[in-house]
Structure 1
């Protein structure tokens, strides 16, 4: 797992070998089974999470039992509940594995120390945050102004590999549409 992570960092950040070793040394490997939970709503997010392989989802469940998926995190991406992590407050979301996943975890104090010690890691982290903000903004705009068909088309274009990995109910929960509507859209596309 660590070799894959080190290769990822080498490909995306300008870090020395010493920095790569130290960042990897502080990582805690974990294997998460399908539907295994890494963060439960109400708990405080205490880790940065890097997905080596597998697929995670960040979601909330309303009082009436409806699930709303905020994001999917596939291999070679990072995830966490930023607000809970930064403010040390109870999380409003859960993070769970859609499929069996291998991840690396960094405790907040360790990762904060790494950011201070390695400016290149801090720059890389800031770039990831910026990209996440841009992606979130585009998603919000699509959710606010798009028809269900446009939302689905955007999802297919943005995440083509997810269609085979996700149950339809999760795609519908991500798009904010009913499973019935999603099924209708997919049927209409197949007829074309």
Structure 2
């Protein structure tokens, strides 16, 4: 039994029987701060729900720079969708920013749940649509916004992340240097 997750599913509109079915197939796991769920080059074999903590999906460039694609806080899902769907080596890593508790489902188990629980399939489709909308917005901001606009969007979208993330991770997410981020933050303090 996973009480926090079950409450989350109930709030999402799943019937009690569906909640129990999905929860029963979950495997709980704890990650230490900076521990990797999996590394680039490995196959993403699980859908993951974050019960508590904060994960990030990232890539390290050939030059050693970290590029953060997304964060996954409590009550959110994460995976490398391409690696998971196609069962091919991932181009990204997923790791814990802070100590985290997660629930994992193997692909075969989650595929079975999607086939057997229509409510879950509908719920998953809604999550996928929201992720697509979010990704499009993020791409547009990355391509057209100034560093100041990127930071402003970040603090508007994720206000609680500022206290949870080191500045280097925020800069890596925004695609700007730590020096630029520090300058932006300093300018805001002077306003």
TM bracket (short chain): over 0.9
Deviations 1:33-54 (A, max 9, x none): 0001001100000000000000
Alignment of 1:5-154 (within 5 A): 5-12=5-12, 14-154=13-153
Q: Which moved further from structure 2: 16-25 or 79-88?
A: 16-25
SS in structure 2 at match of 1:111: helix
What corresponds to 1:165 in structure 2?
164
SS in structure 2 at match of 1:100: strand
Structure 2 residues not aligned, in runs of 5+: none
Query: For the residues of structure 2 that align with 1:16 and 1:152, how far apart are their CA atoms?
Result: 40
TM-aligned CA deviation for residue 17 of structure 1: 1.6
TM-aligned CA deviation for residue 75 of structure 1: 0.3
TM-aligned CA deviation for residue 64 of structure 1: 1.1
TM-score, scaled to structure 1:
0.98
Structure 1 residues not aligned, in runs of 5+: none
Query: For the residues of structure 2 that align with 1:44 and 1:184, how far apart are their CA atoms?
Result: 39
- Root-mean-square deviation (CA), in Å? 0.7
Runs of 4 or more off by more than 4 Å in structure 1?
A: none
What corresponds to 1:4 in structure 2?
4
TM-score, scaled to structure 2:
0.99
TM-aligned CA deviation for residue 15 of structure 1: 2.1
Query: For the residues of structure 2 that align with 1:7 and 1:142, how far apart are their CA atoms?
Result: 34
TM-aligned CA deviation for residue 63 of structure 1: 1.0
TM-aligned CA deviation for residue 141 of structure 1: 0.4
Query: For the residues of structure 1 that align with 2:57 and 2:139, how far apart are their CA atoms?
Result: 16
Query: For the residues of structure 1 that align with 2:104 and 2:32, how far apart are their CA atoms?
Result: 16
Query: For the residues of structure 1 that align with 2:72 and 2:108, how far apart are their CA atoms?
Result: 23
Query: For the residues of structure 2 that align with 1:185 and 1:3, how far apart are their CA atoms?
Result: 41
TM-aligned CA deviation for residue 16 of structure 1: 2.2
Deviations 1:68-91 (A, max 9, x none): 000000000000000000001000
